[in-house]
């Protein structure tokens, strides 16, 4: 089993992660093992492309079927076999962390009056862009436009339709030093990279196993933990860091004015 120091060396530095984020790339951020112990893909909302949005809720794709006719005109015999997914697999739930000020300016109230979420994630009402080019709101192009509009300084209340297919999340004012969640991490990275304070996040889940000819995914369908996130980051060239390291970095560059609350 690797030591704590060996594990720490597998993560990217916050400085390198900020640089990648500033360059418009995805990053993976993990929270602590005593919280959710999960990794989220995070990217800045202001510049997300349709191609990047399509990467988030990517559907599994099977490799070519093992099917060979035994003789001319004979029916194809399909051998059912387990296979791993060949493309990235994420939860498919796309959220957009924003600051409280932005939520107020765009009239995005909380989704419920009494939040029963164990981590008190502050979901607002869902939105789609009200641009004439938007159709159902669910396509990668539509969702990317909604997120870019959310980050635009020109956005107004009527820039959005309600309900929609993007879920804004209201971050705590103190960022990860007030609440050590992915919502706050996304907004903090936006600020550190000099971008509009609106991000796009999706939780990473394990691949599971497909059996060709059966419409289900078996095996490990749980959340992607530390080792899985590190492998995923290496496979796709994505920087991977932790919220704990982000807190340390912020305390170093900004001082320790805000308290960390690891319980929420």
* Residues annotated as part of the active site: 36, 40, 95, 123, 128, 165, 182, 203
Between CA 254 and CA 192 the distance in angstroms is: 11
Q: Point out which residues pair with 201 in neighbouring strands.
A: 42, 95
Among 138, 149, 131, 52, residue whose Cα is nearest residue 93: 138
Between CA 150 and CA 168 the distance in angstroms is: 9
Q: 196 exposed, middle or buried (CB, 10 Å; 0-12, 13-18, 19+)?
A: buried
Among 92, 174, 169, residue whose Cα is nearest residue 127: 169
Q: How far is CA 141 from CA 25, 48, 134, in A?
A: 18, 10, 8
Between CA 165 and CA 168 the distance in angstroms is: 10
Three-state SS letters, 10-25: HCCCHHHHHHHHHCCC
Between CA 130 and CA 166 the distance in angstroms is: 13
Q: What is the full DSSP assignment across 123-185?
A: BB--EEE--TT-SSS-SHHHHHHHHHHHH-TT--GGGEEEEEEEEEEEPPTTGGGT--SHHHH
């Amino acid at each position: 089993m690797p030591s704590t120091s060996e594990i720490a060396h597998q993560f990217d530095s916050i400085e390198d992660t900020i640089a990648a984020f500033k360059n418009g790339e995805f990053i993976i951020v993990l929270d602590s093992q005593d919280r959710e112990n999960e990794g989220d893909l995070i990217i800045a909302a202001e510049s997300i492309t349709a191609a990047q949005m399509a990467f988030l809720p990517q559907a599994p794709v099977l490799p070519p079927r093992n099917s060979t006719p035994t003789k001319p005109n004979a029916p194809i015999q399909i051998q059912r076999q387990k296979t791993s997914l060949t493309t990235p697999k994420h939860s498919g739930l796309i959220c957009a962390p924003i600051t409280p000020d932005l939520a107020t300016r765009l009239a995005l109230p909380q989704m419920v009056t009494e939040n029963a979420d164990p981590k008190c994630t502050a979901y607002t009402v869902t939105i789609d862009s009200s641009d004439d080019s938007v159709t159902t709101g669910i396509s990668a192009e539509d969702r990317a436009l909604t997120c870019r509009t959310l980050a635009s300084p020109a956005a107004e209340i009527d820039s959005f339709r309600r309900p929609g297919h993007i879920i804004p999340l209201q971050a705590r004012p103190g960022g990860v030093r007030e609440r050590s969640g992915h919502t706050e991490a996304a907004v903090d990275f936006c600020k550190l990279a000099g971008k509009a304070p609106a991000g796009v996040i999706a939780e990473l889940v394990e691949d599971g196993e497909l059996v060709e000819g059966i419409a289900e995914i078996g095996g490990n369908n749980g959340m992607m933990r530390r080792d899985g996130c590190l492998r995923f980051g290496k496979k796709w060239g994505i920087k991977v860091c932790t919220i704990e390291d982000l807190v340390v970095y912020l305390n170093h560059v900004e001082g320790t004015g805000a308290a960390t609350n690891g319980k929420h």
